[in-house]
């Protein structure tokens, strides 16, 4: 059972021991000040090295790109040194790991980073919040509304492109096997892709060709920095939260996939809605994407092992991402193989933030 999930796989020359992928999940454990990855984070990731490939939590490429408190960065030497703890531990435990490069764009507040957010257009994301830790006695995150962004200039875009490229170089210096460009979930690149959040009238707005321009330019810069075999892109065609509902997005994603295919990057990672009444991904979309993009395709979105196995067997995707299953079960593949019971989330208060092992590295392994 689950023969495909347990197959080894070659990702652009990188040997993976199975097709389980640990999906990126923000946990807000970086050391302060400086948003520096630490030994506790290294333990957390190494515990979950049962996955063939781990994608780290979203990691900001600059202070401007930060949208939530205590998320790690990849733009200072201290952050690079901090991440080396994680890459060394994960490699020692027998897995591969990519760093997810992140810029939140308009999904931020000056209460988080002291800066006005930037975005393709000066449109605030309705009904969208970010969080800070304001010293409340229970340690919980405090949610605050995002602020109105400043419309980006050409210079701003050139800066962001270089921040992604430098972040990729820094990730390789830190020992990562590759990087994933975060173009999903309503953050900066996704804001450029969508007609409702991007109302520019220059070369970065209007047509679908223009709206994918920043994504392609960032991807090209990252390829120059670290190589196409170490570069992946995450997209979320069916996710509309953070005020991102766009009737044109599927066509835009397909156009982007064609251009990314020409660049011969390692993979496209689909972030798929994972709540109970989420829209199903039509099979025709997967078939069409497979035609447009011929390298590795990853699907993540609260799938059961049975659903993942079928997608692999039908050759619609190549790797299956699991998020919360890995969060609570560091030995998740072994539990799947043995059909063993799964741990549940022990305390929702520990999902974001916390200074110790509770709800983070204290989830039990099977005997």
Cite the active site residues. Answer: 187
CB of 58 closer than 8 Å to CB of 24: yes
Cα separations in angstroms, 26 against 163, 202, 219, 350, 359: 20, 34, 23, 12, 13
CB of 319 closer than 8 Å to CB of 9: yes
CB of 26 closer than 8 Å to CB of 151: no
**Residue 132 zone, left/alpha/beta (φ > 0; ψ -120 to 50; rest):** beta
Bridge partners, 150 (sequence order): 118
The residue among 218, 309, 312, 301 whose CA lies nearest residue 265 is 218
Lookup: tokens for 171: 């990730």
Q: Which residue matches tokens 């209460």? A: 111
What's the angle, vertex CA 243, arms to CA 161 and CA 320, rounded to 5? Answer: 70
């Amino acid at each position: 059972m689950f023969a495909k999930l347990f197959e080894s796989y070659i990702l652009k020359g990188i040997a993976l021991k199975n097709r389980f992928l640990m999906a990126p999940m923000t946990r807000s454990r970086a050391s302060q000040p400086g948003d520096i990855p630490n030994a506790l984070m290294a333990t957390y990731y190494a515990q979950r090295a049962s996955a063939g490939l781990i994608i780290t939590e979203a990691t900001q490429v600059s202070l401007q790109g930060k949208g939530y408190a205590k998320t790690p960065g990849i733009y200072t030497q201290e952050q690079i040194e901090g991440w080396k703890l994680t890459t060394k531990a994960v490699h020692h435990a027998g897995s591969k790991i990519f760093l997810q490069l992140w810029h939140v764009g308009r999904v931020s507040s000056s209460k988080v980073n002291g800066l006005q957010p930037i975005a393709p257009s000066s449109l605030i994301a309705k009904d969208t919040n970010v969080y800070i830790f304001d010293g409340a006695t229970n340690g919980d995150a405090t949610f605050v509304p995002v602020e109105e962004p400043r419309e980006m200039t050409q210079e701003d875009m050139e800066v962001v492109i270089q921040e992604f490229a430098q972040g990729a170089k820094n990730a390789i210096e830190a020992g990562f096997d590759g990087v994933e460009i975060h173009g999903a979930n309503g953050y900066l690149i996704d804001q450029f892709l969508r007609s409702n959040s991007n109302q520019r009238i220059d070369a970065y707005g209007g047509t679908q060709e223009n709206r994918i321009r920043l994504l392609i330019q960032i991807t090209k810069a990252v390829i120059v920095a670290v190589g196409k075999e170490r570069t992946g892109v995450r997209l979320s065609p069916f996710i509309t939260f953070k005020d991102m509902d766009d009737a044109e997005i599927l066509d835009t994603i397909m156009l982007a996939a064609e251009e990314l295919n020409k660049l011969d990057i390692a993979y496209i990672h689909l972030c798929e809605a994972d709540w109970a009444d989420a829209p199903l991904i039509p099979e025709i979309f997967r078939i069409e994407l497979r035609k447009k993009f011929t390298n590795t395709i990853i699907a993540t979105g609260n799938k059961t092992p049975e659903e993942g196995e079928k997608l692999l067997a039908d050759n619609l995707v190549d790797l299956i991402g699991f998020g919360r299953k890995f969060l609570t079960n560091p030995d998740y593949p072994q539990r799947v193989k043995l059909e063993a019971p799964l741990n549940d989330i022990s305390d929702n208060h520990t999902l974001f933030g916390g200074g110790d092992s509770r709800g983070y590295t204290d989830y039990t392994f099977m005997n």
